[in-house]
Amino acid sequence: MIHHIHLKPDSWLVSAGRWSAPGDPLNVPLVPASNFLLGAGRSYARDDGTPTWEALEEILGGLESGQAVAFASGMAAIAAVFDQLPAGASVVLPEDCYQGVAGLAMAGAKRGRWTVQRLPLDDTQAWINACSVADLIWLESPSNPLLIVAELDAICAASRKPGAILAVDNTFATPLNQQPLDLGATVSIQSVTKFIGGHSDLMAGVAVTRDPKLWEALRRWRELAGATPGALEAFLAVRGARTLALRLQRAQQTAMILAERLEQHPRVNCVRYPGLPSHSTHAVAKRLLKGFGAIISFDVRGGADAADAVCRNVRLIRHATSLGGVETTMERRAAIPGQEHLPPSLLRLSVGIEDVEDLWADLDSALHAAAS
């Protein structure tokens, strides 16, 4: 069943995925069961799911007016989409995209499963042209970590090869800031590990589509691959989703302030944040995004050594990978294998919900300390 939201997204996040019979618990419980008593349509969790998974799928599917399939991780959801491709398929990826996607795509290309073409995310005409020949058009907007915002409306509206899948990794924007299915995408992917979970304590992913055949194929792939979310992870993801709207609102308000201040800082060369007028795709972001998100990337003067020193000198901000948690984290992305093409002094900052002045004091102090 496709869920249609009659409530605003903030209310849907709080109210969806709950039981409603008298005497039911207010919150859907953690169901740590691998098998069930036979006779009521559910027998084995890997095949049939659990009530906790279903609550998460109702919340996230309804948020995009589609049907959701929950997975063990964001990469599991991504792999499920790639595995729908026929032998010898053509895949198009952004030049700037999540390293896990690029790694998966190139590994498949080396085995002859598909061919891969990389395109600049801001070259809209190149993407429109690719839509007519590619079997999988994989988009990520805003991109990781350069925060390029694609003209998804134009690309999704382009004529596609019959049977082609246009997938959008919507992790940075979240469904609160962008709805790819409304624009015409085939499937919207979220790493639930990030903003939806929101507390850096779980791994999960979700694929949302309005194509019943694709939804069924993704469910079948999850079953056969065993890429199922854990009981505790699903429970925590539901709880995290309840506060997504509040957390994202606070984080992106703070991110805007920090981005503006970083742009004026004498120890910073370049700031990338879609909310800044100086950002290369700011006009597109203003048109397509409801909010500019909570991720900033910036280049530190002095190169990689100076950027590493900033990471060593922060105290409130955590020097850690990943993103989307309540705590602010920061890392030098070019230090990660597979990311060497990035500017060596680029730091990716995932803004949390701490007080903005405390965050700025920590960041400013670390930037100055790195120069001494």
CATH assignment at residue 136: 3.40.640.10
For residue 138, tell me if it sits in a domain.
Answer: yes
Whole-number Å distance between alpha carbons of 168 and 188: 5
With tokens 């992870």, the residue in question is: 233
Q: Do residues 264 and 126 both lie within one domain? A: no
Q: Do residues 109 and 30 both lie within one domain? A: yes
Paired tokens of 23? 């005497």
b (16+ CB within 10 A) / e for 235-257: bbbbbbbbebbebbebbbbbbbe
Q: Do residues 335 and 214 both lie within one domain? A: no
Nearest to 138 by CA among 165, 106, 113, 111: 165
With contact defined as beta carbons under 8 Å apart, do 231 and 30 qualify?
Answer: yes
Q: Do residues 333 and 303 both lie within one domain? A: yes
| pLDDT value of position 5 | 53
CATH assignment at residue 260: 3.90.1150.10
| Among 210, 242, 274, residue at a domain's last position | 242
For residue 128, tell me if it sits in a domain.
Answer: yes
Low-confidence ranges of the chain (pLDDT < 50): 1-3
SS3 track for the chain: CCCCCCCCHHHHHHHCCCCCCCCCCCCCCCCCCCECCCCCCCCEHHHHCCHHHHHHHHHHHHHCCCEEEEECCHHHHHHHHHCCCCCCEEEEEECCCCHHHHHHHHHHHHCCCEEEEEECCCCHHHHHHHHCCCCEEEEECCCCCCCCCCCHHHHHHCCCCCCCEEEEECCCCHHHHCCHHHHCCCEEEEECCCCCCCCCCCCCEEEEECCHHHHHHHHHHHHHHCCCCCHHHHHHHHHHHHCHHHHHHHHHHHHHHHHHHHHCCCCEEEEECCCCCCCCCHHHHHHHCCCCCCEEEEEECCHHHHHHHHHHHCCCCEECCCCCCCCCEEEEHHHCCCCCCCCCCEEEEECCCCCHHHHHHHHHHHHHHHHC
Query: What is the tally of structural domains in the chain?
Result: 2
pTM of structure: 0.95
For residue 4, tell me if it sits in a domain.
Answer: no
Torsion angles phi and psi, residue 354, rounded to 5: -70, 170
Q: Is the peptide bond before 180 cis (omega within 30 degrees of 0)?
A: no
b (16+ CB within 10 A) / e for 132-166: eebbbbbbbbbbbbbbbbbbbeebbebebeeebbb
Residue range(s) defining the domain that contains residue 278: 245-371
Q: Do residues 71 and 197 both lie within one domain? A: yes
Measure Cα distances from 116 to 104, 212, 264 in Å: 11, 27, 40
Q: Do residues 206 and 258 both lie within one domain? A: no
Q: Do residues 233 and 305 both lie within one domain? A: no
Q: Which amino acid does the sequence have at 125?
A: Q
Whole-number Å distance between alpha carbons of 308 and 314: 11
| pLDDT value of position 23 | 94
With tokens 């995310």, the residue in question is: 121
Whole-number Å distance between alpha carbons of 93 and 176: 24
